[in-house]
């Protein structure tokens, strides 16, 4: 069960910062495009962390390739987190695509169309 208590919030923030840094500096997989870590959710026992990523550029195929590359690098990232963070247990890292950016852009486009239609009618 994913719960965001005070400790879980702090651990989520630490993991988000470190994974963002590691993806940028240490992960060399060419499948991983330009991705951003949007948020991290940690289970209440701190055993699993779901890392949500958004692909800034690219089509669906590129987003899926980035996700595959990150899933392959999860063991490496977990090991690096263990070296960098002082946690009794380093959570298992799970990656998931965050579609909120695409949804936001789609809604913005719809609002602009509605606004343009309203302006034409007046």
CATH code for the domain of 54: 3.30.300.20
Listing DSSP states for 53-83 in one string gives EEESS--HHHHHHHHHHHHHTHHHHHHHHHH
Element (H, E) at 19: helix 6-25
33 domain residue, yes or no: yes
Asked whether residue 111 is assigned to any structural domain, the reply reads: yes
Domain count, the chain: 1
Residue 17 in domain: yes
pTM: 0.77
Task: Give a yes or no: residue 101 inside a domain.
Answer: yes
CA distance 114 to 120: 10
Q: Is residue 73 part of a domain?
A: yes
Question: Structural domain of residue 69, as residue ranges?
Answer: 6-121
In a domain, residue 104? The reply is: yes
Residue 1 lies in a domain: no
pLDDT digits (tens, 9 = 90+) for 68-86: 999 999 999 999 999 999 8
pLDDT at site 107: 81
Question: Parallel, antiparallel, or unpaired for β 48-55 and 92-97?
Answer: parallel
């Amino acid at each position: 069960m994913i719960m965001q208590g005070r400790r879980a919030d702090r651990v989520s923030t630490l993991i988000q910062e470190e994974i963002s840094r590691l993806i940028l500096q240490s992960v060399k997989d060419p499948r991983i495009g330009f991705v951003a870590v949007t948020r991290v959710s940690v289970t209440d026992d701190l055993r699993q962390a779901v890392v949500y990523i958004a692909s800034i550029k690219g089509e669906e195929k590129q987003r899926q390739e980035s996700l595959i590359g990150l899933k392959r690098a999860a063991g490496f990232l977990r090991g690096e987190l263990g070296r960098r963070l002082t946690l009794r247990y380093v959570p298992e890292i799970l990656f998931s695509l965050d579609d909120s950016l695409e949804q936001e852009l789609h809604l913005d486009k719809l609002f602009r169309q509605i606004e343009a239609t309203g302006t034409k009618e007046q």
